[in-house]
Every structure is written in C-alpha cells, then in structure tokens.
Structure 1
C-alpha cells in the first residue's frame, strides 16, 4: 500500500488540492450568495449586467438592464422590449472557481500562480461579458437558434477558453511544466 501511495503521490496531491480549493471556494461563494435576500440580485451579477449594458451602449445598442421588481434576476430590454434575463448563473463565478481550483492544484511559484489566476479571472470575466452581449444580439436576430446558442456554442466558448488557459498553465508555469 505504501508503495502505491508513493507512486501516485503527485496525482493524490493534485486531487486533494483541487477538491479542497473547489469545495472551499464554492462554500465561500455560497456564503456570499446567502447574504442576499431571496428576491435580491447578488452584486457580482449586477456588475456583470452593468458591464454588458456599458459594452453594448459603446456600440450604440438600445439596451437597458435593470433588476426585476419581484424576482432575483436582471431584465434585459433590447430595442425597446423585454428580451432576456441575466441570472446568478450567468456571472461565470462557477467557471472561475473551476479555473482557480485547477491552477491551484497544479500550482507553481507563488507570484506566478497568483498572477496567472488574477489574469485568468479577468480574462474569463471579460469574455463572459462579451459572451452575454453577443448572445443578446444573436438571440434577437436568430431566435430559432436559442437552444444551440445558449446551450452549446457559448458554453463551449467559455469552457474552451478555460481549457486553453489550463493547457497553457500546465505546460508553461506549473511545477510539472518541466
């Protein structure tokens, strides 16, 4: 048994670190969400909504994003009519938690790891805001592709970016890179 533990030590350390980080960050986020009332929208989702609105207004889009009066989501009014909603799951925090957990599990030098995590989180956040803005425009113009756009293409884009960041991290900066 001791021989197996020695042989698989790097894998076991990776698994334990990944799950510890993932569970810890998920619980931290859950505590954050629990600080809001049942019909409130959390601050991260509100910020994402504001950033989507700002981005689209830069391109002279007729868009308004505001909180629904009774439920916990943001209404997106596009070209004068209520079109879609932004819910807590749209803020990419779960994707960011997954990204950070993986990078921590394959950590390298402290400064490099921290810099990569911060850069990656920022990149994921920006891509998510762009993703939501594009999704709004595409759903408006191609409503018949709603399931494909929302359920397949755009998740593929954001998870694809995370996967590419992981590959880059493991091959260039992690302690296993050499």
Structure 2
C-alpha cells in the first residue's frame, strides 16, 4: 500500500508541476512572440540564437543571425550560407520544465532541491547552446548528415544530460534514497 501511495504522490507532483510550468511558459510565449504584423521570436529563443552565434564566431565561423521574415524562427547564417533555424523548441525550456518536474517529484529539503534545480537548469541550458553550435558546424561542414545529426545524435546529448542529472538526483540527493 505504501508503494502505491509513493507512486500517486510522484504522479501528482510531477504532472502538477509540469502543468503549472507549461502553462506559465505558454503565457510567456503568448506575451512575447509576435505573428500579427511581423514575426518575432520570444526573448529566450533570441538569446539562445545570439549565444550560439557568439560561440560560432569565437571559434572562427563567421556567423550572423536574423529573425526569419516568414515564421517564428531565427535564421543562422554561417559564411553567407543559411545553415539552420532556431525555433522555440530549440531553446531547451521544455526540457528544463520536464527536468524541474521530475526533481520536484522526488524533492528533498527545499534548499538542496532549489539549488539542484538552478544548477541543473543552467547546465541543461548551457549544454543546449553548445549543442546547437556544434550541430550548426556539423551541418555547415557535413550537410549530407543533417538528418542523423539533427534527429538522433544531438537530441541524445540533451536528453542524455537530463537523464544523467535525474539519476544523480535520485542517487545522491532525493529523500527516496534515504
């Protein structure tokens, strides 16, 4: 009976947190994106594009970003070649919401939980920006591998990181361990 109670508590915490954060994120997107007279992405998507461009320029790839005029995306152009577009789904917020929901579901004391959420979210966000920069280089240098790189290799990096953070949380910090 106790194990059923733990599962139910986990599910309530997980889906409650996920629903709340997803709702707040959708409000943010509705408030910050524009599709009426012109297209304009949310500031977080613009920040990811800008930081990706900074990394690419830092490693010698002459990169420019610009708002796509016909859709909610940021065009990433390397050495004059339109290499990729950064959309809302590329900004890692949805993955961070999933990460936070899981951590809250196995929450510990408030301080360690809060610190781990902050650390993990920052790590996921940072790895995501580096991941996008690397995929842009790979797509620029090896466009023939675009599908496998975009659909298999690079998602495994971000989801693998999230899974690893969950595993560390369960093993080291959650009250489930105790």
In structure 2, the partner of 1:139 is: 139
In structure 2, the partner of 1:115 is: 115
Superposed, which structure 2 residues align to 1:7-22 within 5 Å? 7-22=3-18
In structure 1, the partner of 2:125 is: 125
What is the alpha-carbon distance in structure 1 between the residues aligned to residue 40 and residue 63 of structure 2? 21
What is the alpha-carbon distance in structure 1 between the residues aligned to residue 94 and residue 50 of structure 2? 19
* Segment of structure 1 superposing worse, 94-103 or 58-67: 58-67
How far off its partner does 1:58 sit?
1.4
Q: Provide closer, same or farther for how the CA distance between residues 81 and 16 of structure 1 changes in structure 2, counting only shifts above 3 A.
A: same
How far off its partner does 1:70 sit?
3.4
How far off its partner does 1:7 sit?
4.5
How far off its partner does 1:40 sit?
1.7
| Matched residues, number | 174
Structure 2: segments with no counterpart, 5+ residues: none
Matched residue SS, 1:65: strand
| Deviation string, structure 1 residues 82-133 (Cα, Å, up to 9, x no partner) | 2211111110111101000000000001000000000000000110000000
What is the alpha-carbon distance in structure 2 between the residues aligned to residue 101 and residue 23 of structure 1? 9
Structure 1: segments with no counterpart, 5+ residues: none
What is the alpha-carbon distance in structure 1 between the residues aligned to residue 42 and residue 22 of structure 2? 15
How far off its partner does 1:69 sit?
2.6
How far off its partner does 1:169 sit?
0.2
In structure 2, the partner of 1:37 is: 34
In structure 1, the partner of 2:21 is: 25
What is the alpha-carbon distance in structure 2 between the residues aligned to residue 49 and residue 64 of structure 1? 10
